[in-house]
Amino acid sequence: MPTGKTCRGAIHVHSNYSDGSGRVEDVISAAQTAGLDYLIITDHDKLRPEQHAFQGRHGNLLVVYGVEMKARMFGKKHFLALGVDSHEPYRGLTFAEKLERIDRDGGKSIIAHPAGCFKPWLAIAHRRWKRFPEGTFHGMEIWTYMHDWVKGLRLSRLREQYRDPDHSLGGPDVKLLAAWDALNRKRRIAGIGSLDNHARHVPLFGVRVFPYEYLFRRLLTHVEIEPFTGDVAKDISRLLAAISAGRSYFANNAIAPPDGFRFFAESGDGGHGVGAWLNGGAQALRIESPCVCEMKLVRNGETVMTEVTGEMELRDPPPGAYRVEARLDGAPWLFTNHINVGMPLVT
């Protein structure tokens, strides 16, 4: 039975090895101050030995160093390669070849900001992914904090939105959620919450958008995994395996702490947490929240239940891919990965 205990961490962070403002040492220090269990740094098209050397334990923090790669040589579509030691083996390969090689090397590929973000006045032009690759990729960013914030920016409200960014967020893109639901009816595609944090300085206004520690207290991915053991290689392998298997939910911790949240299925052989694929069906789906919120249970992209409550149950759920959305006072708060009930898994 899932216990509700998770490891929480920040995914998709840039240092000054690419276009972030902070030294890796400072990024790690900010993550430690924020009390994270893990941190995944992904600089652009670069993973040198001196960067990879930061991977490992830093006190209670597990640091994983990946790389954000271009899907195409001159394109605006990116993905995260995790569990790889270098960027060099993948240079010059097509997108499909990169995915195949990363999978063969034991790594994980996560599509970055697939909803796109187009703000010419901010020199941002990430294109929406209208189709997803047929090859092996393991997941996608479903909710990216900085992209959500930027999409809602208005010059007339810039000061207000900078001072209170959390209430400028709209949550995951509706079209992306629909595409994710459709994919998960046939195969497991994990979803994560990410930051795409650069902590850039804006000299004109004398501010940083946004400091690392500030965002490390916000949109985090909570992974259902046993506590880390101290064996770095095994801990990283277990963490990435759990993320790619969808054994997580992602939440804006600044809205409310999600500790203790549970979404699980009950079947004849016990309880199964988020990310489970139950070919034989389930007796019930249960949701338990540490606070009363607006809960929505989604099946195959369609809402089947909505309640303002701290607990929800669906008995004898029909076959489908189920996930949960939760809001607090109208603000997007928490989104889970899927539990698949009574459906064949296409491998």
As annotated, the residues of the chain forming the CATH 3.20.20.140 domain(s) are 7-254
SS3 for 275?
A: coil
pLDDT tens for residues 166-205?
Answer: 988 999 999 999 999 999 999 999 999 999 999 887 655 5
Residue 14 φ then ψ, to 5°: -110, 140
58-62, 151-155, 262-266: the lowest-pLDDT one = 151-155
What DSSP letter does each residue of 128-174 carry, written as one string?
P-SS--SS---EEEEEEHHHHHHHT--GGGHHHHHHSGGGG---S-H
Q: How confident is the model at residue 207 (pLDDT cuts 50, 70, 90)?
A: low
Distance, in Å, from the CA atom of 321 to the CA atom of 282, rounded to the nearest integer, reads 12
Which CATH number applies to 258-347?
Answer: 2.60.40
pTM of the model: 0.95
pLDDT tens for residues 50-99?
Answer: 999 999 999 999 999 999 999 875 567 899 999 999 999 999 999 999 99
Has residue 23 got a pLDDT over 60?
yes
As annotated, the residues of the chain forming the CATH 2.60.40 domain(s) are 258-347
SS3 for 277?
A: strand
Q: Homologous superfamily of 7-254 in CATH? A: Metal-dependent hydrolases (3.20.20.140)
